[in-house]
Structure formats: C-alpha cells, structure tokens
A and B are shown apart, each in its own frame.
Chain A
Amino acid sequence: MIAKVLVSLQDEVLDPAGRALTERLNNLGFPEVKSAKIGKYIELYIETGDREKEKERVEDMCHKLLANTLVEDFEIIHEQEDKKKELKV
C-alpha cells in the first residue's frame, strides 16, 4: 500500500516561505494569489495486509515523527497498491 502524507504549517503560524512565494507569484503576473503555503509531501510504501491497521500506523507515524503537531497539520491519503514496485530510494 502507498500512503501519501501532506504536512503543512498551521494557519496561525507565520510562514515566511509562503509569504515570499505569494509575493513572487504576484510579481510574475498572478495577482489573484492572495496567500500560499509551502509544505512537505511524503510517500510511504508499506507492506501490510491490514488496511485499517495501516491507517492507524501511519497516523501514529505522523504524530511521532512526520509532523510536529505543535505547528503543523497533516493529511494522509491512502492508495491501493496498483503497481508492485517499491519507491526508489
């Protein structure tokens, strides 16, 4: 199974990178962009037969390491394994 994890700063935490990106996009002719956030994308290839357990485990991983929940939110997207290949590392 593949779990895709999106991590981003919480709205109330100032994000200088997102602010800089907003300004640059505005300068490039995209004034409609009012704000931006730059987050992280993590892809995990997981070998387990138990999909429900996998969801719990990935959530646990987010709390223990993948996100710092003091300042970050995370979102997990679980995908069925359609291709029998491990991620290249």
Chain B
Amino acid sequence: MKVAVVVFPGSGGAADAVYAYSEVLGQEAYTVWHQEETLGDPDIVVIPGGSAFGDYLRPGALTRGSPIVGAIRKYARDDRPMIGIGNGFQILCELEVLPGVLLQNISSSFLNTNTFVCVDNDRSMWTRHLDPEELLSLPMSCYCGRYYADKRTLKDLEEQGHIAFRFCDLDGDVDLDNPFNGSVNGIAGILNRHENVLGMIHHPERAVEDLMGSVDGYAILQSIVLGDTVDLSGRDLDDDDDDDDDDDDDDDD
C-alpha cells in the first residue's frame, strides 16, 4: 500500500511514521511536502506529529495556509483512510476535518509518557482489529493534548460512537471527573462522521517494535493494510490478524 506522510515545516514525527509504515509494516511510505497540491493517490494518509510551523498562534493553526490542505480535505471527504497523530490531530481539528480543538494540558506541562487507553469504537476501519477488552499502552508527547468540544459536538460524538480512545487506568477505568490531562470525557482519540479519519493524541508509530517499549500501536497502523484483504463483516479477524501486540506493557518510557 502507498502511504503518504504529509510534512509541514516542523513536522518532527514524519520520519517515525515513514519508518513504522515502511520498515516495520512493509508498505511503500513516502513524504509529501506541504507546498505540494496533490498527495499522489495514496491508500493511507498520515498527518504526523511534531510542531508544524513551530506551533505558532495555536498548534496546527498555520497549516491552514498550505497548498496541500485542499488535497487533505478532499481525501477526507472522499471517505479515504487518514490518521492524524499528536500534532496531526491538532492540525485536523484546526482544518475542521475533525470536530473540536486541543488545548493546553490541564497540568500546564508537556506530557511525555506512556499512558493506557481503552478502545471505545472497535468497528471503524482504523480500530476494527483492536480488541475492545484489551488496553493499549501508548506514548504521548504533547503540551496541548486536552481535547475539548462544545456540548452539542460532544453529545454527537458520544451518541454516534465516534470516540475512538479514552485515557484509562491500569484497570481500564476511565475517570470522567478527573481525566488524565483534562480531556473532556477522557477523550484521547476521535473519528470523523464517516469514521475514515482518526485523530489521536498518542503516537502509535512510536509503539511498533519491542525495543520501543510497546507494540500496541502496530494494530492501529496495520488496520487499513489488513482491511483490504480481510472480510470484516463477520468480525472473524483472528485468523488473519498476524500482529503480535502484547496487552500489558510497562507504562514507563
């Protein structure tokens, strides 16, 4: 599969995304500079983490003026698979591809740690290979990771099942009153209306090999790759699912 990783000035996580998809998952990953106007007909688009345009004004905001944005919006509108990781999630919110916004963590600190997340939506093209009973241990690395949306948007997200991931503790419990970084309803990742675009605060591409401390991101990135060859209607995925993610990794870097 062809995987386009969009690079803005400051997209420091682009190389990690290319590495995960090309070296670990064996796909054809390439970068697309933000001054381009086309994505090159990829099967997957990644908006990687980092600090696009130095996070000036607001994280992700200045990407609004980049030529590639039209192609990103069209790709999302065409119901094709796109993932925004960390700063990429912030960018997709700023571009209004995803609803809501990401604000400063409630602790006012840069959170660079692994946390547990639970899978809320296990039917989308990005999450259907995940076991909703298992927790994922994934790294996050951000200053503005506190998801916020107005009440109406939040209600829609909840009712339509478009919350992909939530912060949780070791037992899988989500603390709605006092979520880890202040994210409303403990939200750590969401899907758009047609569930083809996933935005997540954590970095699945930094959790794909044992030496990274967790391999729980593998199944997320692999999901679209498998999706072409696996009939998902019966949810009989185990035979084809060859990822080897462990369920309880250490949560320390």
A binding-site residues for B, Cβ under 8 Å: 9, 13-17, 20, 40, 64-66, 68, 70-71
Contacts A16-B106, A70-B148 given; 6 further ones with Cβ under 8 A? A15-B104, A16-B108, A40-B57, A65-B65, A70-B100, A71-B101
Q: Kindly state the separation between the CA atoms of A40 and B167 in the bound complex, as whole angstroms.
A: 30
A65 and B61: CB pair below 8 A?
A: yes
> Is the C-beta of B58 less than 8 angstroms from some C-beta in chain A?
yes
Chain B contact surface mostly = loop
Question: Which residues of B have CB within 8 Å of A9?
Answer: 103
> Is the C-beta of B94 less than 8 angstroms from some C-beta in chain A?
yes
A68 and B58: CB pair below 8 A?
A: yes
B148 and A71: CB pair below 8 A?
A: yes
Task: Tell me the smallest distance from the CB of A28 to a CB of chain B, in Å.
Answer: 18
Size of the B side of the interface (Cβ < 8 Å), in residues, is: 19
> Is the C-beta of B49 less than 8 angstroms from some C-beta in chain A?
no
Which of B57, B148, B149 is most buried by chain A, counting CB atoms within 10 A of its CB?
Answer: B57
B binding-site residues for A, Cβ under 8 Å: 57-58, 61-62, 64-65, 94, 100-101, 103-108, 148-150, 182
* Cβ-closest chain A residue relative to B60: A68
A13 and B104: CB pair below 8 A?
A: no
Question: Which residues of A have CB within 8 Å of B100?
Answer: 70
**A70-B100, A70-B101 known; A16+B57 contact, CB < 8 A:** no
B107 and A16: CB pair below 8 A?
A: yes
Give 25 A-B contacts (CB < 8 Å), ordered by A residue.
Answer: A9-B103, A13-B103, A14-B182, A16-B104, A16-B105, A16-B106, A16-B107, A16-B108, A16-B182, A17-B104, A17-B108, A20-B108, A40-B57, A64-B64, A65-B57, A65-B65, A66-B57, A68-B94, A68-B101, A70-B100, A70-B101, A70-B148, A70-B149, A70-B150, A71-B101
